Amino acid sequence: MAYSSCLQIDFTSGGFWYNRDVQTETLAITYTEAGMMIAQRNAWTSLFAILPLLATTLVAQPPSERPDHEHRAKAEVKYVSQSALGKSVTHAQLSNGLTVLVQENHAAPVATVRCFVKNTGSAFEGRYLGTGISHMLEHLVALGSTTKRPEPEIQKLLDSMGGQTNAFTSTDMTAYFVDCPSSRTDLAIELIADSMQYSLIPENEYLREMEVVQRELEMGEASRERMQYQAMKSLIYTEHPIRHPTIGYLPVVQSVNRSDVIAFYKNRYVPQNMIFLVVGDVETDHVLEQVLTNFKTFQRTTERGAVLASEPNQASARSTRLEMAGETTNFSVGWPTVMLQHPDLYPLDVASYLLAHGDSSRLGYRLKIEQPLALSVSSSSYTPGIVNGWFDASVQCQPANTEACRKAIYEEIERLKTELVSEKELNKVKRQKAAEHVFQQETVQEQCNSLAYSFISTGDPLFDDQYVAGIQGVTPEQIQAVARKYFLPERSNTVVIDPIGSQREVTEQAAQATESPVVRKTLANGLTVLLKRHSVTPTVSIQAFVNGGALADTAETSGLASLSTSVMERGTEKYTGREIAEHFDSIGGSFGTSSQRNTSFLRCSVLSDDFDEALDYAFQVLFRPTFPAEEFEKVKQQQLAGIAARKANPQTEILDFWSTMVPATSPYGRTISGTEDTVAALTVEQCKQFHAKYFTPDNMVLAIFGDIDVEKTLARLEATLGMEAKGSGLTLPKFPLRTPATDAKREHITTAQPGTAMVLLGYPVVSALDQDTRAKLDVFNSILTGGSGAGGRLFNELRGEGLVYYVFGIELTGQAPGYFLFMAQTRPETVDEVVGRIQANVKRLADEGIEAEDFELAKQKLIAAHAQRNVTPSSQAFQAAVDELYGLGYDNDKSYEARINKVTVADLQGLVREYFQNAIIATSSPATE
């Protein structure tokens, strides 16, 4: 399909936001086309690689009185139709052409308010093609001044209601949204409605955002995923305007002036181009009334859009090759296919799943498990609603493995043409798609996006249901037919991205609910169990955490915890690694073991019907792994490849470099994945010893949250996991509450990343056990960088002056006391200024404090954002298990609001004076010529 949705940690194109778990166990980062990082999940297609479609802006909703609202008499705006569609969805139409979709979901007191604008996006810019004017306008409309309120007042309103706000532009739409407590839905509706009608676009905001867009474009060119996606588009499309990047081309972007942007806003932001959606704990009639109130003077206009050129059929193979920073090769091959409305959509999507969905898929098993030739494998079937799309298969691998991976892809494509897919394989994919549909309805945000994309693409808000039904009807013969029809040699398109300086010859080579209180019980063998019924959706999350992550490694065994936990799922006494992968792929579930800085863990999510079997697999992996020697070597090679790949990412590169500057006595001086030297020396026997030492019942917290019967689940655990023997008396290290102060230190590294520079400042702070100080740090972070959302002094100052693409603060902490980090991405020539500005803002907070109103807003923003954070079984189980393991108690999260409210301005000033004096500073930039 042609759309994607934002998930977890997200560095977007007008800014960024991120979500971190309370102990900073994970920091997952991926990329968007016109911006930076995004994790995406596609509701309809088989997108498994990151397909960076969106250019996002981390800002909120603004407004401007439209001079084209003439003084002539205006027609009364009213509802002309309203119908209930099922699933608590109501579809209504205003007489001015505005479409309204409302879905009630009373599972949690939250709501999302969104407005999608059609006839915008890079394909619909008419005489402005290549300027990225839709994306530029999005930056200005989102959180910009209106004729009703100036920008600072809008930001204060958003902060006061705890709204998580963002916007994005794609090839064929622009969207704006506010996620908020349901009690503030009316204000969210008003703010977005104002943005759509009354955006002012003042000169100062235009100049500021023009700088931000240019920095974003420059820095986005360092993203392999973005460049791979754009390169494939440029091969597939030679005439259709979808070929242009959403963010535009730098010289063309620079040609746009403010009057152009205002003219485009007046022309395209008209009611018949808009779909307004509200999903959550709301009452439909009240929402419809509020929408009408806020759009009652918005008059319909002549139809506004662009005539799209048709794309001629491809007559011969095409290819392109790029060189970028990094030590791996990205290879992708694609073929033009069909639009969304074509019936071949369904077998194409199934073919994509067969090839690369999960480690038991054809390419996944062949290239990652059987012969670990690839670091990642993916396939997607991209079917937009405005032009024929494409089908592709991609790998990331070491350069020496490119030809073998290319050969494997073509062999599997040929196999689709010559062999009928077995009923077993086909049924697995159908089950996966059905499960995917359920999992993608867990949050109000996902439900809202499903309605919007379905309606814009097909006119049916509930098309997702029809799509799943269409997948269930696919036959082996249909899959073979589409493979023979579309995957032709003369219509192939190949993209290769090699490391800089490889100088290899260009070749044609080719991812209504009820809840119970948490039940906590310590079994006879010391296993701590947390159980909670959470039946918003028929899913179950199983999560087991043990003390013993990277903190358990030594300088000589760095990476052992990560390697050991990864091998655990590659074979047990009862199941082979392939059987484990095939089982969870076949039921559409997720299953994996991993290790982070403080803990090692198993995480599994399945449909409730599959819970009993899933628990048996979890038991086997936790307590009966066999560590097969062959699988150990494969996983080791993958971990080594992952270490090499980190050098191609500016954020991980600077973080790894900063770790080398941390005192040798600190566990934060080692990376989670280890070094190439330490990992290469690790043995199977060391992994077995690690498992025997740390994966014991008395060192484990097991949380099972979801659609379960608590009493029956507890009885089963007592009869299975509860019978495991205790450990042999593990003695965990004792850590102080705070990191010892160190002398200030600053070092620089030369990077291969072109045109971008990184800044990282680390201040020694406290462990996760010092919850009061951590509350102060959260408020401190909210004031300076916006905390879990946009804004803050540093963000507004540095972004406002075009000095950084993003700046954020985050704690790197856990059982051992850690550090508070500031990270910023900037230009090479502004590194010193950014470092100085960060330090000056920290000092200013200590010297001057903060105005009472701004201080309270910062705390309200944290509290409101926190209330919306843990709403799924998986996120709740994660939080409870980690808090319990750390000794904070599974319900520690409930006292978060009280801890934040307790913080005073004097507390913050004291915090800065005590902890923010000497920093360990790491910077990076490319070599000067």
Angle, vertex CA 400, rays to CA 399 and CA 403, nearest 5: 90
* pLDDT reported for residue 516: 85
Q: Any alpha helices (H) in 440-532, and if so which ranges?
A: 444-458, 463-472, 476-486
Category of 669 on φ-ψ map: left (φ > 0), alpha (ψ -120 to 50) or beta: alpha
Q: 177-209, pLDDT tens digit by residue?
A: 999 999 999 999 999 999 999 999 999 999 999
Q: 291: Cβ–Cβ under 8 A, 6 or more apart, which residues?
A: 94, 98, 100, 189, 193, 276, 278
Determine the Cα–Cα distance for residues 632 and 642; give it in Å rounded to an integer: 15
> Which two three-digit tokens encode residue 66?
């439209």
The separation between CA 104 and the C-alpha centre of its own chain, rounded to angstroms, equals: 25
User: 26-40, 580-594, 619-633, 686-700 — which is least confidently predicted?
Assistant: 26-40
Determine the Cα–Cα distance for residues 26 and 39; give it in Å rounded to an integer: 14
Residue 53: pLDDT over 60:
no
Percent over 90 (pLDDT), the chain: 73
* pLDDT reported for residue 714: 96
Q: How many CB atoms lie within 10 A of CB 313?
A: 7
Is 895 exposed, middle or buried, given 0-12, 13-18 or 19+ CB atoms closer than 10 A?
Answer: middle
Q: Would you report the helix, strand and coil content of the chain in percent, each value rounded to 5?
A: 45, 20, 35
Residue 558: pLDDT over 90:
yes
Rounded mean pLDDT of the chain? Answer: 88
* pLDDT reported for residue 851: 93
Over residues 64-76, the mean pLDDT reads 56
Residue 28: pLDDT over 80:
no
Q: Name, of 161-175, 333-347, 779-793, the range with top average pLDDT.
A: 333-347
Q: Which residue has the higher pLDDT, 742 or 95?
A: 95
Over residues 904-917, the mean pLDDT reads 95
| Residue 174 parent element (H or E) | strand 174-181
Whether 346 and 391 have beta carbons less than 8 Å apart is answered as no
Residue 490: pLDDT over 70:
yes
* pLDDT reported for residue 850: 93
* pLDDT reported for residue 270: 96
Give residue 514's pLDDT band: very low, low, confident or very high (50, 70, 90): low
Q: How many CB atoms lie within 10 A of CB 84?
A: 10
* pLDDT reported for residue 153: 93
Over residues 640-667, the mean pLDDT reads 90
Over residues 546-554, the mean pLDDT reads 91
Q: Which residue has the higher pLDDT, 871 or 557?
A: 557
> Which two three-digit tokens encode residue 223?
């993203």
Give residue 72's pLDDT band: very low, low, confident or very high (50, 70, 90): low
Determine the Cα–Cα distance for residues 226 and 50; give it in Å rounded to an integer: 9
Question: Which whole-number Å values give the CA distances from 364 to 352, 354, 394, 581, 617, in the listed order?
Answer: 12, 9, 11, 10, 20
Q: For 132-164, give the DSSP string.
A: -HHHHHHHHHTT--BSSS-HHHHHHHHHHTT-E
* pLDDT reported for residue 48: 29
* pLDDT reported for residue 9: 30
Q: Which residue has the higher pLDDT, 278 or 869?
A: 278
Bridge partners for 915 per DSSP:
none
User: 1-15, 392-406, 422-436, 814-828 — which is least confidently predicted?
Assistant: 1-15
Computed from CA positions of residues 5, 6, 11, 17, in that sequence, does the dihedral angle turn out positive or negative?
positive
* pLDDT reported for residue 64: 41
Q: Which residue has the higher pLDDT, 83 or 220?
A: 83
Percent over 70 (pLDDT), the chain: 90
Q: Report how far apart the first and last C-alpha atoms of the chain are (Å, whole number).
A: 44
Determine the Cα–Cα distance for residues 161 and 489; give it in Å rounded to an integer: 56
Residue 116: pLDDT over 90:
yes
Over residues 824-835, the mean pLDDT reads 94
What Rg, from alpha-carbon coordinates, does the chain have? 27
Global confidence as pTM: 0.80
Q: 223-271, pLDDT tens digit by residue?
A: 889 999 999 999 999 999 999 999 999 889 999 999 999 999 999 999 9
Residue 95: pLDDT over 50:
yes
Give residue 754's pLDDT band: very low, low, confident or very high (50, 70, 90): confident
Over residues 473-496, the mean pLDDT reads 96
Give residue 570's pLDDT band: very low, low, confident or very high (50, 70, 90): very high
Q: Strands 174-181 and 110-117, how do they pair? A: antiparallel
Residue 441: pLDDT over 90:
no
Whether 206 and 257 have beta carbons less than 8 Å apart is answered as no
Over residues 89-94, the mean pLDDT reads 97
Residue 52: pLDDT over 50:
no
Amino acid at 797: E
